[in-house]
């Protein structure tokens, strides 16, 4: 019944970017499955899986193949993007599912090929015999040749938009949409609003780092709370020593910047390091020199 329904569906070509996205989703899924599997063995001795890692990976990829390609004619990434494989060897333009031979060869090329590459590398990495060295040389040459063919296939794919991988081209399987893609009607008002908003957001992202927020805040506070200038004498300075002009608390290690106001050492030092053009929030004086307060004023004098 399912095959008869599938024959009635027409072929819908897939965009190149959708095919590449499906491949990336497949790789992400494999990494996620492997990381979840290895997390189950964190309590065991380190390296317990290293000797059989290629076999374990092949077994996991076999399970993924059984419940994706074999049963649904699509990988997990393709299923997410509403894509599936089509038997491109058939003469009809109608949708034809993959044959069993294509599915089995897909398993051999993908799962078996990766297992063979990893296992052969482990087998011949420590071989000292001359025959082993020759086999390793031929294997490396074959792997390089396959990668070169994959690169050529990818360039052809970018030009024609079919067969994203070398395996798909050899087996004659092509990615098509499961359902026809409906064309979305988007009004120009919505698009213009989105373009304006994105342009404004990018302008703010560029502009905000150039604004000295701390200095602007101090400037606004000095405007809202103006303070009349006072004569510069010891009594006036003693009055201002009661509190830090930044935090409003009793000044710890009081320092001055050349005006009548006093600051905590850590308050004025942190603000001056943040802004080299720091000005007093009370009177607007610039920092001429950061010096400790010379007047020895005791707290008892202010409580008296």
- Positive or negative: CA dihedral 225, 231, 233, 234: negative
CA–CA gap between residue 13 and residue 164 (Å, rounded):
13
Q: What confidence score (pLDDT) does residue 27 get?
A: 92
* C-beta of residue 109 within 8 angstroms of C-beta of residue 198: no
CATH level 3 topology of 236-295: Herpes Virus-1 (3.30.40)
Which residues fall within 8 angstroms of residue 88, CB to CB, at 6 or more apart? 172, 173, 174
Q: In whole angstroms, give the CA distance from residue 90 to residue 96.
A: 7
- The C-alpha angle 277, 217, 215, rounded to 5 degrees, equals 10
Q: State pLDDT tens for residues 138-165.
A: 878 888 899 999 999 999 999 998 899 9
Phi, psi for 10 (deg, rounded to 5): -90, 165
What DSSP letter does each residue of 62-86 carry, written as one string?
HHHHHHTHHHHSS-HHHHHTTEEEE
Q: Which pLDDT score is estimated for 4? A: 42
From 109, 89, 107, select the one nearest 166 (Cα to Cα): 109
Is 50 exceeded by the pLDDT of residue 2? Answer: no
**Whole-angstrom distance, CA of residue 194 vs CA of residue 205:** 16
Does residue 283 carry a pLDDT above 70?
A: yes
Q: Lowest mean pLDDT: which of 97-106, 150-159, 237-246, 290-299?
A: 290-299
Q: What is the pLDDT of residue 24?
A: 93
If DSSP codes are grouped into helix, strand and coil, which group holds residue 292? Answer: strand
pLDDT-based confidence at residue 3 (cuts at 50, 70, 90)? very low
- Judge whether 279 and 218 are in contact, CB under 8 Å: yes
Query: In the chain, what are the domain boundaries?
Result: 16-181, 236-295
250 neighbors 237 (Cβ within 8 angstroms): no
- Looking at the chain, list the stretches that DSSP marks H as alpha helix, in order from N- to C-terminal side: 2-8, 16-39, 53-67, 69-72, 76-80, 100-107, 113-124, 130-160, 166-171, 188-207, 213-224, 234-240, 265-274, 299-303
- pLDDT of the residue at 32: 93
Checking if the pLDDT of 239 tops 60, the result is no
- Pairwise CA distance, residues 24 & 35, whole Å: 17
The whole-angstrom separation of Cα 17 and Cα 33 is 24
Q: What is the pTM for the complete model shown?
A: 0.56
- Confidence grade of residue 225 (pLDDT, cut at 50, 70, 90): low
Each residue's pLDDT tens digit, 28-60: 999 999 999 988 888 888 878 888 888 999 999
Q: What is the dihedral of CA 150, 153, 155, 160, to 10 degrees?
A: -150
């Amino acid at each position: 019944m399912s095959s008869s329904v599938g024959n009635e569906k027409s072929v819908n070509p897939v965009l190149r970017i959708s095919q590449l996205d499906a491949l990336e989703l497949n790789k992400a899924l494999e990494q996620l499955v492997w990381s979840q599997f290895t997390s189950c063995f964190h309590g065991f001795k380190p390296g317990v899986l290293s000797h059989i890692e290629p076999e374990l990976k092949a077994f996991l990829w076999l399970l993924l193949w059984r419940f994706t390609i074999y049963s649904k004619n699509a990988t997990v990434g393709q299923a997410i993007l509403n894509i599936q494989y089509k038997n491109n060897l058939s003469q009809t333009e109608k949708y034809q599912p993959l044959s069993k031979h294509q599915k089995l060869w897909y398993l051999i090329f993908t799962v078996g090929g990766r297992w063979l590459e990893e296992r052969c590398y482990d087998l011949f990495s420590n071989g000292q015999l001359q025959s082993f060295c020759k086999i390793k040389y031929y294997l490396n040459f074959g792997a390089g040749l396959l990668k070169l063919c994959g690169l050529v296939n990818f360039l052809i794919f970018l030009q024609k938009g079919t067969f994203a991988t070398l395996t798909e081209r050899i087996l004659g399987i092509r990615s098509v949409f499961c359902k026809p893609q409906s064309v979305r009607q988007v009004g120009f008002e919505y698009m213009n609003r989105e373009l304006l908003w994105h342009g404004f957001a990018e302008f703010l992202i560029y502009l905000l780092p150039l604004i000295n927020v701390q200095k602007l805040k101090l400037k606004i506070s000095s405007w809202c709370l103006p303070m009349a200038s006072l004569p510069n004498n010891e009594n006036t300075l003693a009055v201002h020593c009661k509190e830090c002009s930044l935090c409003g608390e009793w000044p710890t290690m009081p320092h001055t910047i050349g005006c009548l106001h006093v600051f905590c050492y850590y308050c004025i030092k942190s603000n001056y390091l943040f802004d080299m053009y720091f000005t007093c929030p009370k009177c607007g004086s610039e920092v001429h020199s950061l010096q400790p307060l010379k007047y020895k004023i005791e707290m008892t004098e202010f409580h008296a």
